Structure 1
Amino acid sequence: METLVGEVLSREAWTAAATAHAARIDRYAAPHLARRDAQVKHPVFDFLFTYYSYRPAQLRRWHPGHGVRLDDASEYAGLKGYADGAVTDEFVTSQRPLIEALHRLLKATAGRAGNFGCFGLHEWAMVYRLHEDETRHPDWPLRLGPSGTDEVVEQHRIACSHFDAYRFFTPPALPLNTLSPGREDRPAYEQPACLHAGMDLYKHAFRLSPMIGSDLVADCFELAWDIRVMDMRAAPYDLADLGFEPIRIETAEGKAEYVAAQREFADRGAPLRQRLIEECERLTAAGVATLA
């Protein structure tokens, strides 16, 4: 089968795009790699590079997406999905189950009303009834101490809809959640106000790489980065020494601040989610055309 190509980029054009993309990512990746070499952990900024499976080198590599051929691109020879400087139709067809699954999840999430009443309590439920040296970030104290943190959890309604947050709840916190999201039923629970659903737009984007352009992956990464900062500002840890002013969600003022930021992120995430939906549909159509 021939690979359908709608555009051919000269070496000068694509190397300029690749260089600009790498520089964009290096603002975030280079400090992480320096910390890693120095064996210094960062409770906020390491997350996107350690929790998600996409390595910094993969994120730095620019891809034009399916339908574009790179002229004189020996650097791409042997990369997964590529042949003759372009992502192949055969590769897109082979990824159809992933594309369709992501499309279902993204459409379901986009079609659901956002819940702006969770107040980031998932992070609090992850440390519920733990000693400070048992938390995920034991080098950083709990702002209200263990007993104060537990009281916040017990005094609020917990309604986490995101499985990858819920699964990290401590055992005593699990039954406190009003929902029971599972690994296989994400389309039934994901909602667009969820901070973790917003961060996961980055995961969905890199899973579609190299079939989609790296600009979209980077846009989703930068949204996830900003959400992570806000998520940890609202978490129970005291990160003031790192320059993070807490969002005190245990107060009425803190709740209002959290909801305002959450709405901004939902608004930023909506067009990115729609772009990913459209890319899934484009790739599905390309796969169908290849099979025809």
Structure 2
Amino acid sequence: MRCRCDNHGACRSGFHPSPAYGVRPPRPHRNPHISLPNPFAAADLSPQAPPPLIELDRATVVRGQATVLDALTLRIVAGQHTALLGPNGCGKSTFIKLINRELYPLAREGEAPVKVMGQQRWVVNELRARLGVVTGDLTRDLQDMPHLDVETAVLTGFFASFMLPSDAEVSEPMRERAREALQRVGAGALIARQVTEISTGEMRRVLIARALVHQPQALLLDEPTAGLDLVAQRDFLQLLKELAGQGITLVLVTHHIEEIVAEIDRVILLRGGGVYADGTRASTLTSENLSAVFGGELRVRREGERYFASST
């Protein structure tokens, strides 16, 4: 039986042993990346500055004979709302699993390939207090729990598990924090509902409330509008805009450019396990770049503060 923690690579007591990936296969051939000026390269990384929120230094992940991430290097600092955009198979999900400690990069000498807030290793409860994670896997795991109501689902965020541990002591301040988080995301009326009874859009809000009980510094969101109808998508994107305005750093992982709200002004395009382009929305979300990244002719248009892509 697998553990009930919400991080399949780390338990409350520490970390599972990292998997062995064996020998790295030859580097796959790719076309040269387009080099765009990076307005974020001059971020203050001096010893006096706080460490980056997320830092990958030549992180490589190999699964079987496939190089999933190929010496990926990037830094995201606190307050820098960022989107990682790319097609399926470009390394987006692997990036999340690296940060979430579900996967580990190839070991090498020197600096750690992956750091979160300056640390290589975290106990999952401590990490969750600083970085909230909302993924589709977490949605399914919580919905698989029998007789789980929304309030309890949010309370599990305090324990980094899919269910309340048998020895859990849920205090009244915890319950109050859970109620406040649900109200904050516009889901207060759902508190007594079963998670199996609510819509996909409502479940996304519950997951964000679950992440917010710790008042984290940042939220890592994986395809957050997947499965939402047009109205639910609009309302959810409005919630993201509000959270960004409240000082929570957003890190959005997606393959839909329309999810990239105006508050997110850094976009990293991924292709073949590496960075293809990195810069502002205006400099990266171009027809040329997206056609190259997604492997087909695309036309990008801007309507107000949002970007859209369509086939030519």
Do both proteins adopt the same fold according to a TM-score greater than 0.5, normalized to the shorter chain? no
Give TM-score scaled by structure 2 length: 0.25
Give TM-score scaled by structure 1 length: 0.27
Bigger Rg over Cα: 1
